Amino acid sequence: MAFLVAPSLLSADFLRLGNEIEWINKSEADWLHLDVMDGIFVPNISIGFPVIKSVATKLTKPMDVHLMMLDPQKFIPQCRDLGVHILSVHYEACPHLHATVMKIKEAGMKASVALNPHTPVEVLTDILEALDMVLIMSVDPGFGGQKFIPQACNKVSRLKEMIEKQGLDVLIEVDGGINMERGQSMLEAGARVLVAGNSIFKAPDPVEMIKKMKALTP
């Protein structure tokens, strides 16, 4: 089964953002992953909607936006207006998760729910059929370059079983510490979207690294 690779803009050189977008467009990347942090839900602040708007003017790849923030439902209209393809909100940040997911879909975007490393996949049992994707965090969210949490592989396997048991077509995305070796393990466990930051952007040839990652075998 085919899988997708989404470079994470969090690892880009923001002094050269236009150039970074140019080579991403020319690469075999399927999506561009963009993290939006509020400094409250996670202990960091990243890019905001003005930056995403600028990126969108040059980007030819679909935008995969991950809202690491409280009250993410407030920003669904902005994401829609920017042309976001798929939007991830955190289970831990949404007391009314089903309503938030429905608002994302009503806005014309694909809906995804992200889970922190400590959150079991089983919490999604009753909402899984409404989702297009689940994002498994394999690091604690908030910063790039963190240490990979091996338990994430087990979570992906359990989530894959849940999806197959319900007969659903839900993508599994993984984000955090993904390189060639860990990407292979995640694909074998059932992931179908690999988010990679430093392993792509810090590579001597990022375009070639994406090509190598796309050649992995699920």
Catalytic residue among 35, 38, 64, 132: 35
Domains, the chain, in order of start with CATH, read 4-214 (3.20.20.70)
For the segment 96-139, what is each residue's pLDDT rounded down to a tens digit? 999 999 999 999 999 999 999 999 999 999 999 999 999 999 99
Q: What was the pLDDT predicted at 43? A: 85
Using DSSP's 3-state secondary structure scheme, residue 209 falls into helix
Name the active-site residue from 126, 169, 175, 205. Answer: 175
Residue 127: its pLDDT value, please? 97
pTM comes to: 0.96
- Rounded CA gap, 81 and 73, in Å? 14
pLDDT at 74: 96
The reported pLDDT for the residue numbered 143 is: 61
Active site residue 35: yes
Residue 21 burial (CB < 10 Å; 0-12/13-18/19+)? Answer: buried
Question: Contact at 8 Å (CB) between 31 and 62?
Answer: yes
Using left for φ > 0, alpha for ψ between -120 and 50, and beta otherwise, residue 177 falls in left
Sign of CA dihedral 161, 163, 168, 169: negative
* Nearest-angstrom CA–CA distance, 97 and 106: 14
pLDDT in tens, the chain (218 residues): 689 999 999 999 999 999 999 999 999 999 999 999 999 998 888 889 999 999 999 999 999 999 999 999 999 999 999 999 999 999 999 999 999 999 999 999 999 999 999 999 999 999 999 999 999 999 987 665 567 888 999 999 999 999 999 999 999 999 999 999 999 999 999 999 999 999 999 999 999 999 999 999 88
